[in-house]
């Protein structure tokens, strides 16, 4: 091959590599996370064992919004308006629940492998079925997909993982403690779990083993309802992002009487949504309704005003391989960063 052709080929390879690196730029850095810690440098004194209490991923598959502006008699009399209601429903097409299960399984297995690479033994509730902390609770086994826990989302639990809940309602919702249920799963699941999920007590029952709680939320859709001047509008479309993510590592329980605080912990939380590109095309949908007006003469004995309602159903499409690759990359980056923080604590250094 001639030298000039070799140079051209090398140049093309370098350009392709640069383009590839740009396409897969790191999403999760220290800038988009908050790190909480107490006594993190003492984690090297904890048993080299991890108990994963919670590992759940929420994938939004549908979103619905409805907004109504009410009519009535207009100021000054004589004119009446009906109600106006706009409704917009948007669903994800192209990814099946079974593929989300496989994605979550891989995420969990990779996470466990990385914990083990730190020299840690890894357990979950499947290994401790008689733990005192869960004496009155119900054991659930993965693989498991729950479509009732958060409206419009599939809560996916990995294969090989088991966990306890207080109870499961007739509708299929999983209930935790009273405190952890406040605000609903869509809120409490992604709040700091240092105090409200009983992690210190579980750790104490396990002789100060490191207890882990992981929850990740991946919405796909945005909806924006507004009303003005007798018209109600809803805009919506694709907006794939990792909106919430939390990984909590707790060891021991504070010796203070009645305290629910841990002895030492590290908690990594996403502090702002991280956009995930390369999956959905840019799309926007609208639903709009306007009040209908009727003018009534003074001698009329009755009148009626038509209510206005608009309903649209739309889908945002993707290729399953694109979704699983890009969403998987974002979640893996977050969990890897949390493990990096844990590694620092296990080495006897303070986590920042």
Per residue in 296-306, pLDDT tens?
Answer: 333 333 333 34
In a domain, 40, yes or no: yes
Paired tokens of 134: 């869960």
Residue 337 or 9, more confident: 337
The C-alpha atoms of residue 75 and residue 12 are separated, in whole angstroms, by 71
As a dihedral over the C-alpha atoms of residue 95, residue 171, residue 159, residue 326, rounded to 10 degrees, the angle is 30
CA distances from 205 to 84, 131, 186, 294 (A): 57, 8, 28, 70
In a domain, 114, yes or no: yes
Total count of domains within the chain: 1
Amino acid 238: pLDDT: 85
Amino acid 84: pLDDT: 64
In a domain, 182, yes or no: yes
pLDDT band at 245 (very low <50, low <70, confident <90, very high): very high
In a domain, 352, yes or no: no
In a domain, 11, yes or no: no
Nearest to 234 by CA among 226, 245, 242: 226
In a domain, 19, yes or no: no
Domain hosting residue 220, numbered range: 29-346
Amino acid 27: pLDDT: 82
**Percent of all residues in the chain with a pLDDT value above 70, rounded to a whole number:** 71
In a domain, 38, yes or no: yes
pLDDT of residue 339 exceeding 60, the answer is yes
In a domain, 20, yes or no: no
pLDDT band at 22 (very low <50, low <70, confident <90, very high): very low
Q: pTM of this prediction?
A: 0.80
pLDDT of residue 213 exceeding 70, the answer is yes
Mean pLDDT of the 91-106 span: 92
Rounded mean pLDDT of the chain? 80
């Amino acid at each position: 091959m001639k030298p000039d052709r070799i140079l051209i080929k090398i140049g093309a390879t370098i350009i392709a590599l640069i383009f590839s690196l740009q396409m897969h730029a790191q999403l999760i850095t220290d800038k988009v996370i908050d790190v909480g810690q107490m006594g993190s440098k003492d984690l090297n004194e904890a048993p080299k064992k991890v108990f994963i209490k919670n590992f759940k991923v929420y994938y939004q598959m549908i979103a619905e919004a409805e907004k109504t502006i009410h009519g009535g008699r207009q100021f000054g009399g004589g004119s009446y308006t009906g109600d106006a209601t706009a409704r917009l429903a948007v669903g994800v097409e192209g990814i099946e629940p079974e593929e989300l299960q496989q994605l979550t399984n891989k995420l969990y297995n990779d996470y466990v492998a990385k914990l083990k690479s730190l020299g840690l033994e890894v357990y979950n509730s499947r290994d401790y079925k008689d733990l005192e902390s869960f004496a009155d609770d119900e054991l659930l086994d993965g693989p498991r997909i729950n479509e009732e826990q958060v409206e419009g989302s599939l809560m996916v639990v990995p294969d090989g993982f088991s966990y306890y809940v207080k109870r499961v309602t007739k509708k299929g919702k999983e209930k935790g403690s009273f405190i952890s249920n406040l605000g609903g799963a869509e809120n409490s699941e992604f709040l700091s779990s240092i105090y409200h999920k009983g992690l210190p007590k579980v750790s104490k029952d396990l002789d100060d083993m490191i207890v882990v709680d992981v929850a990740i939320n991946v919405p796909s859709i945005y909806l924006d309802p507004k009303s003005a001047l007798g018209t109600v509008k809803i805009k919506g479309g694709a907006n794939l992002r990792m909106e919430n993510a939390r990984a909590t590592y707790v060891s021991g329980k504070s010796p203070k009487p009645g305290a629910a605080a841990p002895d030492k912990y590290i908690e990594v939380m996403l502090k702002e949504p991280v956009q995930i590109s390369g999956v959905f095309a840019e799309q926007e949908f609208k639903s709009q309704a306007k009040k209908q007006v009727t003018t009534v003469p003074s001698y009329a004995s009755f009148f009626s005003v038509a209510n206005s309602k608009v309903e649209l159903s739309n889908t945002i499409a993707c290729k399953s391989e694109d979704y699983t690759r890009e969403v998987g990359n974002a979640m893996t980056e977050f969990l890897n960063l949390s493990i990096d923080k844990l590694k620092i604590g296990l080495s006897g250094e303070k986590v920042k």
